[in-house]
Chains A and B, each alone.
Chain A
Protein backbone atom coordinates (compact mmCIF):
# COMPACT_ATOMS: atom_id res chain seq x y z
CA UNK A 1 0.00 0.00 0.00
CA UNK A 2 1.38 3.36 -0.98
CA UNK A 3 1.94 5.91 1.77
CA UNK A 4 -0.82 8.39 2.48
CA UNK A 5 -0.98 10.79 -0.40
CA UNK A 6 -1.98 14.39 -0.69
CA UNK A 7 -5.08 14.72 -2.79
CA UNK A 8 -5.16 18.50 -3.00
CA UNK A 9 -2.19 18.92 -5.35
CA UNK A 10 -1.09 21.59 -2.90
CA UNK A 11 1.94 23.78 -3.37
CA UNK A 12 5.19 22.30 -2.08
CA UNK A 13 5.95 23.40 1.49
CA UNK A 14 8.85 25.68 0.56
CA UNK A 15 6.77 27.68 -1.92
CA UNK A 16 3.69 27.91 0.32
CA UNK A 17 4.84 30.95 2.24
CA UNK A 18 5.73 32.71 -1.01
CA UNK A 19 2.20 32.12 -2.18
CA UNK A 20 0.91 33.52 1.11
CA UNK A 21 3.17 36.56 0.65
CA UNK A 22 1.78 37.05 -2.86
CA UNK A 23 -1.79 36.87 -1.57
CA UNK A 24 -0.87 39.32 1.16
CA UNK A 25 0.57 41.84 -1.29
CA UNK A 26 -2.40 41.42 -3.63
CA UNK A 27 -0.46 39.99 -6.55
CA UNK A 28 -2.90 39.25 -9.41
CA UNK A 29 -3.90 35.60 -9.55
CA UNK A 30 -2.32 34.69 -6.21
CA UNK A 31 -5.62 34.36 -4.36
CA UNK A 32 -7.03 32.15 -7.09
CA UNK A 33 -3.88 29.98 -7.06
CA UNK A 34 -4.18 29.56 -3.30
CA UNK A 35 -7.87 28.65 -3.55
CA UNK A 36 -7.39 26.14 -6.35
CA UNK A 37 -4.47 24.48 -4.54
CA UNK A 38 -6.46 23.86 -1.36
CA UNK A 39 -10.18 23.97 -2.17
CA UNK A 40 -10.71 20.25 -2.73
CA UNK A 41 -8.99 19.22 0.49
CA UNK A 42 -10.78 21.86 2.52
CA UNK A 43 -14.11 21.05 0.89
CA UNK A 44 -13.79 17.35 1.66
CA UNK A 45 -12.77 18.10 5.21
CA UNK A 46 -15.53 20.61 5.89
CA UNK A 47 -18.10 18.38 4.23
CA UNK A 48 -17.05 15.61 6.58
CA UNK A 49 -17.75 17.88 9.55
CA UNK A 50 -20.98 19.39 8.27
CA UNK A 51 -22.34 16.46 6.27
CA UNK A 52 -24.01 18.69 3.69
CA UNK A 53 -22.24 19.74 0.46
CA UNK A 54 -24.11 23.04 0.13
CA UNK A 55 -23.24 24.03 3.68
CA UNK A 56 -19.66 22.93 3.04
CA UNK A 57 -19.43 25.06 -0.10
CA UNK A 58 -20.37 28.16 1.85
CA UNK A 59 -18.12 27.30 4.78
CA UNK A 60 -15.10 26.85 2.50
CA UNK A 61 -15.85 30.20 0.86
CA UNK A 62 -16.07 31.76 4.32
CA UNK A 63 -12.74 30.19 5.28
CA UNK A 64 -10.95 31.55 2.21
CA UNK A 65 -12.53 34.99 2.64
CA UNK A 66 -11.30 35.04 6.25
CA UNK A 67 -7.84 33.84 5.26
CA UNK A 68 -7.60 36.51 2.58
CA UNK A 69 -8.81 39.17 4.98
CA UNK A 70 -6.31 38.07 7.65
CA UNK A 71 -3.39 38.04 5.22
CA UNK A 72 -4.23 41.46 3.79
CA UNK A 73 -5.09 43.26 7.03
CA UNK A 74 -3.56 41.46 10.02
CA UNK A 75 -0.42 39.60 9.00
CA UNK A 76 2.89 41.42 8.51
CA UNK A 77 5.53 40.01 6.21
CA UNK A 78 7.46 38.15 8.92
CA UNK A 79 4.40 36.48 10.30
CA UNK A 80 3.25 35.49 6.82
CA UNK A 81 6.70 34.01 6.11
CA UNK A 82 6.39 31.72 9.13
CA UNK A 83 2.95 30.52 8.17
CA UNK A 84 2.34 26.83 7.47
CA UNK A 85 -0.27 27.79 4.89
CA UNK A 86 -1.97 24.42 4.53
CA UNK A 87 -2.26 23.76 8.26
CA UNK A 88 -3.41 27.34 8.83
CA UNK A 89 -6.15 27.06 6.19
CA UNK A 90 -7.33 23.79 7.70
CA UNK A 91 -7.56 25.45 11.13
CA UNK A 92 -9.59 28.35 9.78
CA UNK A 93 -11.89 25.98 7.89
CA UNK A 94 -12.32 23.86 10.99
CA UNK A 95 -13.32 26.86 13.09
CA UNK A 96 -15.78 28.06 10.47
CA UNK A 97 -17.31 24.61 10.15
CA UNK A 98 -17.59 23.99 13.89
CA UNK A 99 -19.21 27.40 14.37
CA UNK A 100 -21.72 26.55 11.69
CA UNK A 101 -22.39 23.18 13.28
CA UNK A 102 -23.02 24.87 16.62
CA UNK A 103 -25.41 27.44 15.21
CA UNK A 104 -27.16 24.75 13.16
CA UNK A 105 -27.70 22.76 16.34
CA UNK A 106 -29.03 25.82 18.07
CA UNK A 107 -31.48 26.50 15.30
CA UNK A 108 -34.34 24.11 15.98
CA UNK A 109 -35.44 24.21 12.36
CA UNK A 110 -32.18 22.82 11.03
CA UNK A 111 -32.14 19.12 10.38
CA UNK A 112 -29.13 16.91 11.04
CA UNK A 113 -26.81 16.34 8.10
CA UNK A 114 -28.53 13.77 5.95
CA UNK A 115 -27.06 10.71 4.34
CA UNK A 116 -28.55 11.45 0.94
CA UNK A 117 -26.34 14.48 0.38
CA UNK A 118 -23.37 12.18 0.68
CA UNK A 119 -24.76 9.91 -2.00
CA UNK A 120 -25.16 12.73 -4.45
CA UNK A 121 -21.63 13.93 -3.95
CA UNK A 122 -20.30 10.41 -4.24
CA UNK A 123 -22.01 10.00 -7.58
CA UNK A 124 -20.52 13.26 -8.76
CA UNK A 125 -16.94 12.35 -7.97
CA UNK A 126 -16.70 8.75 -9.17
CA UNK A 127 -15.44 8.66 -12.77
CA UNK A 128 -17.59 7.23 -15.53
CA UNK A 129 -16.48 4.31 -17.62
CA UNK A 130 -17.16 0.60 -18.21
CA UNK A 131 -15.25 -0.56 -15.12
CA UNK A 132 -16.61 2.18 -12.91
CA UNK A 133 -19.98 0.67 -12.06
CA UNK A 134 -18.73 -1.53 -9.25
CA UNK A 135 -16.47 1.21 -7.92
CA UNK A 136 -19.38 3.59 -8.03
CA UNK A 137 -21.58 1.23 -6.05
CA UNK A 138 -18.82 0.62 -3.52
CA UNK A 139 -18.20 4.37 -3.20
CA UNK A 140 -21.89 4.93 -2.71
CA UNK A 141 -21.95 2.40 0.11
CA UNK A 142 -18.88 3.96 1.69
CA UNK A 143 -20.26 7.48 1.45
CA UNK A 144 -23.54 6.33 2.87
CA UNK A 145 -21.78 4.63 5.80
CA UNK A 146 -19.63 7.73 6.36
CA UNK A 147 -22.78 9.80 6.45
CA UNK A 148 -24.09 7.72 9.34
CA UNK A 149 -20.99 8.10 11.54
CA UNK A 150 -20.76 10.65 14.31
CA UNK A 151 -19.39 13.96 12.94
CA UNK A 152 -16.18 13.59 14.98
CA UNK A 153 -15.56 10.09 13.59
CA UNK A 154 -16.25 11.25 10.06
CA UNK A 155 -13.89 14.17 10.50
CA UNK A 156 -11.07 11.89 11.60
CA UNK A 157 -11.52 9.41 8.75
CA UNK A 158 -11.72 12.26 6.26
CA UNK A 159 -8.51 13.83 7.52
CA UNK A 160 -6.65 10.57 7.73
CA UNK A 161 -7.73 8.67 4.62
CA UNK A 162 -9.27 11.11 2.19
CA UNK A 163 -7.02 14.13 2.79
CA UNK A 164 -4.13 11.80 3.62
CA UNK A 165 -2.86 13.69 6.68
CA UNK A 166 -0.18 12.16 8.90
CA UNK A 167 -1.08 11.42 12.53
CA UNK A 168 1.19 14.25 13.67
CA UNK A 169 -0.71 16.67 11.39
CA UNK A 170 -4.05 15.49 12.75
CA UNK A 171 -3.00 16.07 16.36
CA UNK A 172 -1.88 19.56 15.36
CA UNK A 173 -5.37 20.24 14.08
CA UNK A 174 -7.71 18.32 16.34
CA UNK A 175 -5.57 18.01 19.48
CA UNK A 176 -4.72 14.88 21.53
CA UNK A 177 -1.69 12.61 21.39
CA UNK A 178 -0.79 10.52 18.36
CA UNK A 179 -1.52 7.34 20.28
CA UNK A 180 -4.97 8.59 21.26
CA UNK A 181 -5.72 9.66 17.67
CA UNK A 182 -4.57 6.26 16.37
CA UNK A 183 -7.02 4.60 18.73
CA UNK A 184 -9.85 6.87 17.68
CA UNK A 185 -9.13 6.36 13.99
CA UNK A 186 -9.09 2.61 14.46
CA UNK A 187 -12.41 2.63 16.34
CA UNK A 188 -13.96 4.89 13.69
CA UNK A 189 -12.78 2.45 11.00
CA UNK A 190 -14.35 -0.43 12.93
CA UNK A 191 -17.62 1.47 13.17
CA UNK A 192 -17.48 2.21 9.45
CA UNK A 193 -16.95 -1.47 8.66
CA UNK A 194 -19.91 -2.31 10.87
CA UNK A 195 -22.07 0.03 8.80
CA UNK A 196 -21.06 -1.52 5.49
CA UNK A 197 -23.11 -4.46 4.15
CA UNK A 198 -22.13 -7.79 5.75
CA UNK A 199 -20.91 -9.43 2.52
CA UNK A 200 -18.51 -6.57 1.90
CA UNK A 201 -17.05 -6.98 5.37
CA UNK A 202 -16.67 -10.71 4.80
CA UNK A 203 -14.86 -9.99 1.56
CA UNK A 204 -12.53 -7.59 3.35
CA UNK A 205 -11.56 -10.08 6.03
Chain B
Protein backbone atom coordinates (compact mmCIF):
# COMPACT_ATOMS: atom_id res chain seq x y z
CA UNK B 1 0.00 0.00 0.00
CA UNK B 2 1.32 3.42 -0.94
CA UNK B 3 1.97 6.13 1.67
CA UNK B 4 -0.87 8.44 0.46
CA UNK B 5 -3.34 5.62 0.97
CA UNK B 6 -1.86 4.65 4.30
CA UNK B 7 -2.01 8.09 5.93
CA UNK B 8 -5.70 8.45 5.15
CA UNK B 9 -6.36 5.23 7.05
CA UNK B 10 -4.28 5.92 10.18
CA UNK B 11 -7.13 7.44 12.16
CA UNK B 12 -9.49 4.57 11.34
CA UNK B 13 -6.72 2.12 12.26
CA UNK B 14 -6.42 3.83 15.64
CA UNK B 15 -10.06 3.11 16.46
CA UNK B 16 -10.14 -0.31 14.80
CA UNK B 17 -12.58 0.76 12.10
CA UNK B 18 -10.72 -0.66 9.09
CA UNK B 19 -11.69 -3.87 7.28
CA UNK B 20 -9.41 -6.75 8.35
CA UNK B 21 -7.38 -6.85 5.13
CA UNK B 22 -6.67 -3.10 5.08
CA UNK B 23 -5.82 -3.14 8.75
CA UNK B 24 -3.14 -5.74 8.12
CA UNK B 25 -1.72 -3.86 5.13
CA UNK B 26 -1.52 -0.56 6.98
CA UNK B 27 0.06 -2.19 10.03
CA UNK B 28 2.70 -3.88 7.85
CA UNK B 29 3.46 -0.62 6.07
CA UNK B 30 3.96 1.18 9.37
CA UNK B 31 6.61 -1.31 10.43
CA UNK B 32 8.80 -0.44 7.47
CA UNK B 33 7.97 3.21 6.69
CA UNK B 34 9.48 5.72 9.10
CA UNK B 35 7.62 8.78 7.78
CA UNK B 36 4.21 7.07 8.00
CA UNK B 37 5.02 5.91 11.54
CA UNK B 38 5.80 9.53 12.47
CA UNK B 39 2.58 10.60 10.80
CA UNK B 40 0.72 7.99 12.84
CA UNK B 41 2.13 9.39 16.08
CA UNK B 42 1.09 12.89 15.04
CA UNK B 43 -2.46 11.80 14.22
CA UNK B 44 -2.74 10.02 17.56
CA UNK B 45 -1.51 13.04 19.45
CA UNK B 46 -3.81 15.46 17.68
CA UNK B 47 -6.79 13.13 18.05
CA UNK B 48 -6.13 12.89 21.78
CA UNK B 49 -5.83 16.65 22.15
CA UNK B 50 -8.99 17.31 20.17
CA UNK B 51 -10.77 14.72 22.28
CA UNK B 52 -9.93 16.66 25.41
CA UNK B 53 -11.77 19.73 24.09
CA UNK B 54 -15.02 18.69 25.61
CA UNK B 55 -17.87 20.98 24.73
CA UNK B 56 -20.20 22.03 27.51
CA UNK B 57 -23.62 23.34 26.71
CA UNK B 58 -24.68 26.27 28.90
CA UNK B 59 -25.99 24.92 32.19
CA UNK B 60 -29.46 26.41 31.88
CA UNK B 61 -30.13 25.24 28.34
CA UNK B 62 -32.56 22.57 29.51
CA UNK B 63 -34.68 25.07 31.45
CA UNK B 64 -35.03 27.20 28.32
CA UNK B 65 -36.09 24.26 26.17
CA UNK B 66 -38.63 23.10 28.76
CA UNK B 67 -40.14 26.58 29.03
CA UNK B 68 -40.27 26.91 25.25
CA UNK B 69 -41.75 23.46 24.68
CA UNK B 70 -44.55 24.14 27.14
CA UNK B 71 -45.55 27.08 24.95
CA UNK B 72 -47.23 30.30 26.00
CA UNK B 73 -50.42 30.14 28.06
CA UNK B 74 -52.06 33.06 26.36
CA UNK B 75 -51.83 36.43 24.75
CA UNK B 76 -53.96 39.52 24.96
CA UNK B 77 -54.28 43.27 24.66
CA UNK B 78 -53.70 45.93 27.31
CA UNK B 79 -54.72 49.57 26.82
CA UNK B 80 -52.07 51.97 28.05
CA UNK B 81 -51.12 55.63 27.82
CA UNK B 82 -49.07 54.69 24.75
CA UNK B 83 -52.10 53.03 23.15
CA UNK B 84 -52.72 49.31 22.76
CA UNK B 85 -49.93 46.95 23.84
CA UNK B 86 -50.00 43.21 23.09
CA UNK B 87 -48.53 40.73 25.53
CA UNK B 88 -47.91 36.98 25.65
CA UNK B 89 -47.06 34.95 28.74
CA UNK B 90 -46.16 31.44 29.87
CA UNK B 91 -45.86 29.71 33.23
CA UNK B 92 -42.70 31.69 34.06
CA UNK B 93 -43.99 35.17 33.24
CA UNK B 94 -44.29 37.54 30.31
CA UNK B 95 -42.53 36.25 27.19
CA UNK B 96 -43.40 38.91 24.62
CA UNK B 97 -44.56 42.53 24.34
CA UNK B 98 -45.49 44.45 21.19
CA UNK B 99 -46.45 48.09 21.16
CA UNK B 100 -49.24 49.14 18.78
CA UNK B 101 -52.65 47.96 17.63
CA UNK B 102 -51.13 45.70 14.98
CA UNK B 103 -48.76 43.94 17.36
CA UNK B 104 -50.82 40.80 17.76
CA UNK B 105 -49.69 39.02 14.61
CA UNK B 106 -45.96 39.44 15.22
CA UNK B 107 -46.42 38.47 18.84
CA UNK B 108 -48.24 35.24 18.01
CA UNK B 109 -45.73 34.36 15.32
CA UNK B 110 -42.81 34.85 17.70
CA UNK B 111 -44.61 32.72 20.26
CA UNK B 112 -45.14 29.94 17.71
CA UNK B 113 -41.48 30.10 16.66
CA UNK B 114 -40.36 29.71 20.25
CA UNK B 115 -42.55 26.71 20.98
CA UNK B 116 -42.08 24.91 17.67
CA UNK B 117 -45.52 25.78 16.28
CA UNK B 118 -47.91 26.29 19.19
CA UNK B 119 -50.00 29.48 18.95
CA UNK B 120 -51.19 30.94 22.24
CA UNK B 121 -54.94 31.44 22.76
CA UNK B 122 -56.22 35.01 22.99
CA UNK B 123 -57.49 35.46 26.51
CA UNK B 124 -57.83 38.12 29.17
CA UNK B 125 -54.49 39.41 30.45
CA UNK B 126 -53.85 38.64 34.14
CA UNK B 127 -54.20 41.87 36.09
CA UNK B 128 -50.65 41.95 37.47
CA UNK B 129 -49.22 41.75 33.92
CA UNK B 130 -51.64 44.41 32.66
CA UNK B 131 -50.76 46.64 35.63
CA UNK B 132 -47.00 46.26 35.02
CA UNK B 133 -47.45 47.27 31.37
CA UNK B 134 -49.69 50.26 32.18
CA UNK B 135 -47.15 51.51 34.73
CA UNK B 136 -44.20 51.09 32.36
CA UNK B 137 -46.06 52.79 29.49
CA UNK B 138 -46.92 55.68 31.79
CA UNK B 139 -43.22 56.27 32.41
CA UNK B 140 -43.16 54.88 35.92
CA UNK B 141 -40.84 52.01 35.00
CA UNK B 142 -41.09 48.35 35.96
CA UNK B 143 -39.49 47.25 39.20
CA UNK B 144 -38.58 43.54 38.99
CA UNK B 145 -40.68 43.07 35.86
CA UNK B 146 -42.55 39.72 35.70
CA UNK B 147 -40.72 38.54 32.57
CA UNK B 148 -39.41 35.13 31.52
CA UNK B 149 -36.20 35.46 29.49
CA UNK B 150 -35.05 31.84 29.87
CA UNK B 151 -35.33 31.06 26.17
CA UNK B 152 -32.82 33.75 25.19
CA UNK B 153 -29.11 33.06 24.69
CA UNK B 154 -26.96 33.97 27.65
CA UNK B 155 -25.37 36.92 25.89
CA UNK B 156 -28.74 38.54 25.15
CA UNK B 157 -29.81 37.90 28.75
CA UNK B 158 -26.61 39.55 30.02
CA UNK B 159 -27.25 42.59 27.89
CA UNK B 160 -30.90 42.88 28.90
CA UNK B 161 -29.97 42.28 32.54
CA UNK B 162 -27.52 45.20 32.49
CA UNK B 163 -30.36 47.51 31.41
CA UNK B 164 -31.86 47.28 34.88
CA UNK B 165 -28.89 49.37 36.08
CA UNK B 166 -30.13 52.42 34.16
CA UNK B 167 -32.39 54.29 36.59
CA UNK B 168 -35.72 55.72 35.58
CA UNK B 169 -35.26 59.13 33.99
CA UNK B 170 -31.71 58.44 32.79
CA UNK B 171 -30.12 57.21 29.55
CA UNK B 172 -26.82 55.56 28.67
CA UNK B 173 -24.88 55.05 25.42
CA UNK B 174 -24.41 51.69 23.69
CA UNK B 175 -20.73 51.49 24.62
CA UNK B 176 -21.65 51.77 28.31
CA UNK B 177 -24.09 48.89 28.00
CA UNK B 178 -21.50 46.78 26.16
CA UNK B 179 -19.07 47.32 29.02
CA UNK B 180 -21.68 46.62 31.71
CA UNK B 181 -22.69 43.40 29.91
CA UNK B 182 -19.07 42.25 30.04
CA UNK B 183 -18.35 42.66 26.32
CA UNK B 184 -16.78 46.10 25.97
CA UNK B 185 -15.60 45.44 22.41
CA UNK B 186 -18.91 44.08 21.16
CA UNK B 187 -20.87 47.33 20.84
CA UNK B 188 -22.51 46.27 17.61
CA UNK B 189 -23.48 42.83 18.95
CA UNK B 190 -24.97 44.60 21.97
CA UNK B 191 -27.05 46.74 19.63
CA UNK B 192 -28.29 43.58 17.93
CA UNK B 193 -29.11 42.01 21.29
CA UNK B 194 -31.12 45.09 22.24
CA UNK B 195 -33.02 44.89 18.99
CA UNK B 196 -34.00 41.39 20.03
CA UNK B 197 -35.48 42.43 23.37
CA UNK B 198 -38.75 40.45 23.37
CA UNK B 199 -40.22 42.45 26.25
CA UNK B 200 -39.74 46.17 25.52
CA UNK B 201 -41.08 48.71 28.04
CA UNK B 202 -40.67 46.15 30.87
CA UNK B 203 -36.97 45.65 30.12
CA UNK B 204 -35.99 49.22 29.29
CA UNK B 205 -34.02 48.99 26.05
CA UNK B 206 -35.41 52.45 25.26
CA UNK B 207 -32.96 53.93 27.81
CA UNK B 208 -29.99 53.28 25.51
CA UNK B 209 -29.34 56.14 23.09
CA UNK B 210 -26.48 57.19 20.79
CA UNK B 211 -23.79 59.28 22.44
CA UNK B 212 -23.90 61.70 19.53
CA UNK B 213 -27.46 62.80 20.26
CA UNK B 214 -30.96 61.85 19.20
CA UNK B 215 -32.88 58.89 20.61
CA UNK B 216 -31.64 56.30 18.09
CA UNK B 217 -33.34 53.14 16.88
CA UNK B 218 -36.39 51.48 18.35
CA UNK B 219 -38.36 48.49 17.14
CA UNK B 220 -41.58 50.51 17.38
CA UNK B 221 -40.20 53.71 15.90
CA UNK B 222 -38.23 56.59 17.36
CA UNK B 223 -41.46 58.55 18.01
CA UNK B 224 -42.58 55.89 20.52
CA UNK B 225 -39.09 55.76 22.07
CA UNK B 226 -39.07 59.53 22.50
CA UNK B 227 -42.52 59.42 24.02
CA UNK B 228 -41.55 56.77 26.60
CA UNK B 229 -38.36 58.62 27.54
CA UNK B 230 -40.24 61.89 27.99
CA UNK B 231 -42.78 60.19 30.22
CA UNK B 232 -39.87 58.84 32.29
CA UNK B 233 -38.64 62.39 32.75
CA UNK B 234 -35.57 62.36 30.52
CA UNK B 235 -34.83 65.98 29.47
CA UNK B 236 -34.41 65.09 25.79
CA UNK B 237 -34.30 68.69 24.55
CA UNK B 238 -31.53 69.60 27.00
CA UNK B 239 -29.59 66.47 26.08
CA UNK B 240 -29.81 67.27 22.40
CA UNK B 241 -28.66 70.83 22.99
CA UNK B 242 -25.63 69.48 24.89
CA UNK B 243 -24.90 66.88 22.17
CA UNK B 244 -25.00 69.60 19.50
CA UNK B 245 -22.32 71.48 21.43
CA UNK B 246 -20.20 68.32 21.54
CA UNK B 247 -20.79 67.75 25.24
CA UNK B 248 -20.66 64.10 26.31
CA UNK B 249 -20.13 64.39 30.07
CA UNK B 250 -20.57 66.86 32.84
CA UNK B 251 -17.96 67.51 35.52
CA UNK B 252 -19.06 68.04 39.08
CA UNK B 253 -17.24 71.08 40.54
CA UNK B 254 -17.80 70.10 44.16
CA UNK B 255 -16.40 66.54 44.21
CA UNK B 256 -14.49 66.51 40.89
CA UNK B 257 -16.31 63.53 39.47
CA UNK B 258 -17.66 63.39 35.92
CA UNK B 259 -20.99 61.87 34.91
CA UNK B 260 -23.32 61.14 32.06
CA UNK B 261 -25.53 64.21 31.70
CA UNK B 262 -28.63 62.39 32.99
CA UNK B 263 -26.94 60.92 36.08
CA UNK B 264 -29.10 61.68 39.10
CA UNK B 265 -25.92 62.68 40.89
CA UNK B 266 -25.62 65.89 38.82
CA UNK B 267 -29.09 66.36 37.42
CA UNK B 268 -30.49 67.63 40.66
CA UNK B 269 -27.64 70.05 41.37
CA UNK B 270 -27.81 73.77 40.49
CA UNK B 271 -26.58 74.59 36.97
CA UNK B 272 -23.57 76.52 38.28
CA UNK B 273 -22.11 73.47 40.04
CA UNK B 274 -21.03 71.57 36.93
CA UNK B 275 -19.11 72.15 33.71
CA UNK B 276 -19.55 70.52 30.29
CA UNK B 277 -16.87 68.08 29.08
CA UNK B 278 -16.38 66.84 25.50
CA UNK B 279 -14.84 63.44 26.30
CA UNK B 280 -13.60 61.16 29.05
CA UNK B 281 -10.03 62.03 28.02
CA UNK B 282 -10.76 65.72 28.53
CA UNK B 283 -12.33 64.90 31.89
CA UNK B 284 -9.24 62.98 32.96
CA UNK B 285 -6.94 65.80 31.81
CA UNK B 286 -8.96 68.29 33.83
CA UNK B 287 -8.53 66.10 36.91
CA UNK B 288 -12.02 64.59 37.06
CA UNK B 289 -12.58 60.93 37.98
CA UNK B 290 -15.51 58.79 36.88
CA UNK B 291 -18.66 59.00 38.99
CA UNK B 292 -19.20 55.76 40.91
CA UNK B 293 -22.97 55.98 40.45
CA UNK B 294 -23.35 56.26 36.68
CA UNK B 295 -19.95 54.74 35.86
CA UNK B 296 -19.17 56.79 32.74
CA UNK B 297 -16.72 55.55 30.12
CA UNK B 298 -13.09 55.96 31.13
CA UNK B 299 -10.34 57.39 28.98
CA UNK B 300 -8.08 54.76 27.47
CA UNK B 301 -4.88 54.44 29.49
Contact = CB atoms under 8 A, between A and B. Distances in A.
Interface of A: 1, 3-5, 7, 31-32, 35-36, 39-45, 47, 54-55, 57-58, 60-61, 64-66, 68-69, 73, 121-122, 124-125, 135, 138-139, 142-143, 157, 160-162, 164, 166-168, 178-179, 182-183, 185-186, 189, 192-193, 204-205
A167 B46 contact: no
Contacts of A4: 15, 51
Contacts of B56: 40, 43, 124-125
Nearest to A65: B116
A61 B68 contact: yes
A161 B69 contact: no
Contacts of B151: 61
Contact of B58 (A55, A57, A64, A66): A57
Interface of B: 7-12, 14-17, 38, 41-58, 61-62, 64-66, 68-69, 114-118, 151, 153-156
B53 A143 contact: yes
Contact of B43 (A35, A124, A189): A189
Contacts of A5: 51
B12 A167 contact: yes
A205 B57 contact: no
Contact of B49 (A31, A35, A44, A142): A142
Most chain B Cβ neighbours within 10 Å, of A32, A36, A54, A205: A54
Contacts of B153: 54-55, 57-58
A139 B11 contact: no
A31 B46 CA distance: 35
15 contacts: A1-B44, A1-B48, A3-B16, A43-B56, A43-B58, A61-B151, A65-B114, A68-B69, A125-B54, A139-B52, A160-B11, A167-B17, A182-B12, A185-B11, A186-B11
Nearest to B43: A189
A157 B43 CA distance: 12
Contact of A39 (B7, B42, B61): B61
Contacts of A42: 57
Contacts of A122: 53
A43 B51 contact: no
A57 B154 contact: yes
B92 to A, nearest CB: 15
B48 to A, nearest CB: 6
B64 A61 contact: yes
A162 B68 contact: no
A164 B14 CA distance: 12
Nearest to B10: A186
A162 B64 contact: no
A125 B55 contact: yes
Contact of A40 (B47, B51, B55): B55
B42 A204 contact: yes
A43 B7 CA distance: 30
A21 to B, nearest CB: 17
The 3 A-B residue pairs with the shortest CB-CB distance, nearest first, are A44-B55, A69-B116, A161-B50
Contacts of B51: 4-5, 7, 161-162, 164
A57 B45 CA distance: 30
Nearest to B61: A39
B148 to A, nearest CB: 14
B116 A68 contact: yes
A65 B69 contact: yes
Contact of A157 (B42, B50, B66, B114): B50
Nearest to B7: A186
Contacts of A7: 51, 54-55
B11 A189 contact: yes
Contacts of B61: 35, 39, 43, 57, 60-61
Contacts of B7: 186
B64 A205 contact: no
Nearest to B22: A179
A36 to B, nearest CB: 6
A190 to B, nearest CB: 9
B55 A186 contact: no
A44 B50 CA distance: 12
A194 B43 CA distance: 13
Contacts of B53: 122, 125, 139, 142-143, 162
B68 A65 contact: yes
Nearest to B59: A39
A138 B51 CA distance: 13
A107 B9 CA distance: 40
